[in-house]
């Protein structure tokens, strides 16, 4: 539905009164005051360029929430109500990683959101496996400076990092719930992938601790986390990458032997021989996509990031960050289409995005953020273990054709947790086919997704939705064909 002149002439108060008059009986919105409804309507997305001609049945909102007035930080969100009975469905926050990558550009536009960018032309099509079939979905560009989110303070003066990102996202949630109080008491979950293996446990920990002292107004009804191909531990991440590459016949016996002899991934400083091996290793992934080992590269090339990758550094943490700067593709060219679409002025107007006139184009991942990211926990294993002890629902899933955060790395990391196994390695099914494998630990469930790369909802959308629905229902995936 497009704006009409009469709609545009309505002021915020009149607009809210209009919507109050047309609210459905029993809807959460009937209890909202006029000012709150007016604030929500300012963020309402009424139409999208290139969207299907018919209007979907769900509402959507997007805009900014100021998280730090002093530093001039504001985070951009895009929210979709569930397709059916949104008042009865939980709320799920989705976070992409990087650090420095956009949840709007990846999660919404290429993975699990209601609209995917079409191939060949930068327009939209409905995603038949959108996760808002099961939940209300909230996509957040975090930290400030990612995607459409912005900061008025230089990264040199206020460098981004794990701690500031967790607290910035928490500040966003508190203020977003103030703007949308009808969703505050819904069951709330956080999901995401990749470096969100840091973001999600760290944000979850902040919520758990803040909930212990929060007022009723700021209490978040937090229930659990779901993380795919999660970067959680530096040692097991790098060792798993090497072992997985050898098992997938990507690196030679000689290079693998060099890694085994020269690399101690528990050390802060890598040896010169190990650094040289990483350089040779990185060159191989200019030939294939490390994020999806068995899918083709994009013939058009990948969208440029707005900063060049730095050379390999001596510290182990920097070697890891350099790997994160490799092209982040799955299906050839979807990144390019999403970048083109979100840079359109009419799209930005419809989404209430780039309202301050950012001095740079929209990019899926900003290397300038990645390059100044110094505050990065070497492991979040203790946090994950604490969250399990707090009784949160925790599922970790892994696409088994990802070479960047391979299943091997995740299995090594989970072993560090030392959790007792309740149900050991067993297949789960999607109808007649094996969807992957699962292990149920005391306090955590691990699931592999067969044939999926780093972005599981992109490469295996049907399996990803089935996994998501089982997570929300707190039910084991089917153990037999059906």
Active site residues: 194, 402, 454
CA gap 333, 465 in Å, rounded: 23
CA gap 80, 72 in Å, rounded: 26
Tell me if residue 110 falls in helix, strand or coil: helix
Please name the residues in contact with 74: beta carbons below 8 A apart, sequence gap of 6 or more.
64, 65, 66, 67, 144, 149, 150, 151
CA gap 293, 330 in Å, rounded: 9
- The number of helix segments (H) and strand segments (E) in the chain equals 16, 13
CA gap 279, 297 in Å, rounded: 21
CA gap 281, 258 in Å, rounded: 11
**Residues 133 and 82: beta-carbon distance below 8 Å:** yes
Q: Phi, psi at residue 446, to the nearest 5°?
A: -110, 130
Please name the residues in contact with 357: beta carbons below 8 A apart, sequence gap of 6 or more.
none
Q: Are strands 444-449 and 393-399 parallel, antiparallel or unpaired?
A: parallel
CA dihedral (67, 70, 71, 72) positive or negative: positive
Please name the residues in contact with 183: beta carbons below 8 A apart, sequence gap of 6 or more.
28, 91, 136, 177
**Residues 232 and 135: beta-carbon distance below 8 Å:** no
CA gap 137, 134 in Å, rounded: 9
CA gap 127, 109 in Å, rounded: 9
CA gap 230, 225 in Å, rounded: 12
CA gap 392, 384 in Å, rounded: 10
Instruction: Report the candidate in 262, 290, 183, 226 with the shortest Cα–Cα distance to residue 447.
Output: 226
Question: How many other C-beta atoms can be found within 10 angstroms of the C-beta atom of residue 26?
Answer: 7
């Amino acid at each position: 539905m497009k704006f009409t002149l009469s709609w545009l002439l309505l002021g915020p108060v009149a607009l809210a009164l209009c919507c109050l008059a047309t609210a459905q009986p029993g809807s959460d919105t009937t209890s909202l005051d006029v000012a709150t409804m007016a604030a929500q309507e300012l963020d309402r997305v009424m139409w999208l360029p290139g969207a299907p001609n018919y209007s979907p049945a769900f509402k959507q909102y997007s805009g900014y929430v100021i998280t730090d007035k002093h530093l001039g930080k504001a985070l951009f969100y895009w929210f979709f109500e569930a397709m059916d009975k949104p008042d009865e469905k939980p709320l799920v926050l989705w976070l992409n990683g990087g650090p420095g990558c956009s949840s709007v550009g990846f999660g919404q536009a290429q993975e699990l959101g209601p609209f995917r960018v079409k191939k060949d032309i930068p327009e939209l099509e409905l995603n038949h496996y959108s996760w808002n079939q099961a939940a209300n979905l909230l996509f957040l560009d975090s930290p400030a400076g990612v995607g459409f989110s912005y900061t008025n303070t230089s990264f040199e003066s206020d460098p981004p990092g794990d701690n500031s990102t967790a607290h910035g996202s928490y500040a966003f949630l508190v203020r977003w719930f103030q703007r949308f109080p009808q969703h505050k008491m819904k069951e709330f979950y956080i999901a995401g992938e990749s470096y969100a293996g840091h973001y999600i446990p760290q944000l979850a920990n902040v919520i758990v601790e803040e909930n212990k002292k929060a007022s009723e107004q700021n209490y978040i009804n937090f229930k659990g986390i779901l993380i795919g191909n999660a970067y959680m531990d530096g040692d097991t991440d790098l060792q798993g990458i090497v072992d997985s590459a050898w098992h997938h016949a990507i690196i030679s016996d000689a290079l693998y032997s060099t890694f085994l002899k020269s690399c101690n991934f528990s050390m802060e400083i890598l040896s010169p021989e190990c650094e040289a091996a990483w350089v040779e290793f990185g060159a191989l992934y200019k030939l294939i996509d490390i994020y999806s080992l068995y899918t083709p590269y994009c013939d058009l090339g990948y969208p440029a990031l707005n900063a060049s990758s730095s050379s390999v550094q001596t510290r182990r943490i920097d070697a890891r960050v350099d790997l994160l700067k490799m092209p982040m593709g799955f299906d050839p060219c979807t990144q390019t289409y999403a970048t083109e679409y979100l840079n359109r002025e009419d799209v930005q107007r419809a989404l209430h995005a780039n309202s301050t006139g950012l001095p740079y184009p929209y990019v899926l991942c900003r290397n300038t953020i990645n390059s100044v990211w110094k505050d990065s926990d070497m492991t979040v294993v203790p946090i994950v273990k604490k969250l399990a002890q707090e009784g949160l629902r925790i599922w970790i899933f892994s696409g088994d054709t990802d070479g960047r955060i391979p299943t091997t790395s995740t299995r090594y990391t989970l072993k560090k947790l030392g959790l007792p196994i309740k149900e050991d390695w067993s297949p789960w099914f999607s109808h007649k086919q094996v969807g992957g494998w699962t292990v149920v630990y005391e306090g955590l469930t691990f699931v592999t997704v067969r044939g999926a790369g780093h972005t599981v909802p992109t490469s295996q959308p049907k399996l990803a939705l089935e996994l998501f629905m089982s997570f929300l229902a707190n039910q084991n995936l089917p153990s037999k064909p059906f």
